[in-house]
Amino acid sequence: MAEKTEIALNLQNVNAGYGDTQILNDISFAVKKGERLAIIGRNGVGKSTLLNTMMGLTDMHSGSVELFGNEIQNLPSHERARLGLGLVPQTRDIFASLSVEENLISGARNNGRIEQAFSLFPRLEERKKNGGGQLSGGEQQMLSIARTLMGEPRLVMLDEPLEGLAPVICDMLMDVFEKLASDGKHTIVLVEQHAELAMEFSDRMLILDNGEIVFHDETSKVRENPSILERHVGLGIS
């Protein structure tokens, strides 16, 4: 008998938004343990709202969200984090007045993980006594990612992590995401505008348009049929 694949995340018929404003409409999809899912779409179609809904930062009007078999749609964000969900927000949300080291400690379950964070991001160790507000944009993004990892998430959601960063920093971050996805401990959900990078990284791709899923399948299907991106995102691929 084939081994049953564990489902890391499962959304069913989710309708959500902010207050009475509904942004997500009847969202249903699942992410397998260890999978790499890329979520793409035009600006303003609900990508960040989708991640925020999974993290408990929006108003869910109906539907269910399961994380590793646990229903979490009624849990506060810190309880979702305790169960293994981590979000690196588009806004980074580091503490500008705290040092790099203090930022990491503030997100830690286990202070011993600081050394692991520094091994992923040697530049942060070099700047560990500097305040968060003294870091460059790329260094702040490294800190935001490292701080989320200090909570020991099993499923990591990354919201536009490469936005506004130099190509050399983007390459370095993608190398880190590759390490996380390959270590057998992390499932990755990546929201990214760089469609080519998203396709290179992901196993499956989900495209949002006007708060609805218009495509969800293996990434190879997009590569084989570029009209999918052209139709839903207005992008071609090389």
Vertex 163 angle, CA 231 and 167, to 5°: 100
**In this structure, are residues 236 and 229 in contact, taking their beta carbons and an 8 Å threshold?**
yes
- 170 and 119 both lie in a single domain: no
Range of the domain at 174: 7-84+153-232
Averaged pLDDT for residues 216-235: 88
**What pLDDT shows up at residue 4?**
52
Whether residue 173 lies inside any domain: the answer is: yes
- 105 and 78 both lie in a single domain: no
Whether residue 110 lies inside any domain: the answer is: yes
pLDDT single digits (tens) 21-79: 999 999 999 999 999 999 999 999 999 999 999 999 999 999 999 999 999 999 999 99
* Residue 13 predicted with pLDDT over 80: yes
Phi, psi of 229 (to 5 degrees): -70, -40
**In this structure, are residues 56 and 76 in contact, taking their beta carbons and an 8 Å threshold?**
yes
Q: Half-sphere exposure of 216 toward its Cβ, with a 13 Å CA cutoff?
A: 13
- Three-state DSSP class for residue 172: helix
**What pLDDT shows up at residue 236?**
54
Question: Per this entry, what is the length of the chain?
Answer: 238
How far is the C-alpha of 12 from the C-alpha of 26, rounded, in Å?
8
How many domains are there within the chain?
2
* Residue 2 predicted with pLDDT over 50: no
- 24 and 34 both lie in a single domain: yes
- 13 and 74 both lie in a single domain: yes
- 80 and 107 both lie in a single domain: no
Tell me the helices (H) and strands (E) count for the chain, helix number first. 10, 10
Whether residue 237 lies inside any domain: the answer is: no
Q: Which of 181, 149, 136 is nearest to 32 (CA)?
A: 181
**What pLDDT shows up at residue 235?**
63
Tokens 């949002």 found at: 208
- 46 and 160 both lie in a single domain: yes
How far is the C-alpha of 134 from the C-alpha of 73, rounded, in Å?
37
Render 205-227 in DSSP notation, one character per residue: EEEEETTEEEEEEEHHHHHH-TH
- 228 and 168 both lie in a single domain: yes
| pLDDT tier at 108, thresholds 50, 70, 90 | confident
Q: CATH number for the domain including 55?
A: 3.40.50.300
- 47 and 144 both lie in a single domain: no
Domain boundary among 106, 124, 152: 152
* Residue 237 predicted with pLDDT over 70: no
**In this structure, are residues 230 and 236 in contact, taking their beta carbons and an 8 Å threshold?**
yes
Whether residue 1 lies inside any domain: the answer is: no
- 57 and 109 both lie in a single domain: no
| pLDDT tier at 5, thresholds 50, 70, 90 | low
- 171 and 222 both lie in a single domain: yes
- 148 and 160 both lie in a single domain: no
pLDDT single digits (tens) 125-166: 999 999 999 999 999 999 999 999 999 999 999 999 999 999
| pLDDT tier at 92, thresholds 50, 70, 90 | confident
Whether residue 238 lies inside any domain: the answer is: no
- 36 and 66 both lie in a single domain: yes
Q: Which stretches of the chain are assigned E, i.e. beta strand?
A: 7-18, 21-32, 36-40, 59-67, 70-71, 85-88, 155-159, 187-191, 204-209, 212-218
Domain boundary among 111, 132, 152: 152
Q: How far is C-alpha 134 from the chain's CA centre?
A: 25
CB-based contacts of 216-220 (< 8 A; 24+ apart in sequence): 216/29, 219/38
Q: How far is C-alpha 50 from the chain's CA centre?
A: 10
* Residue 1 predicted with pLDDT over 70: no
Tokens (6 digits) for 23: 């942004």
How far is the C-alpha of 116 from the C-alpha of 125, rounded, in Å?
10
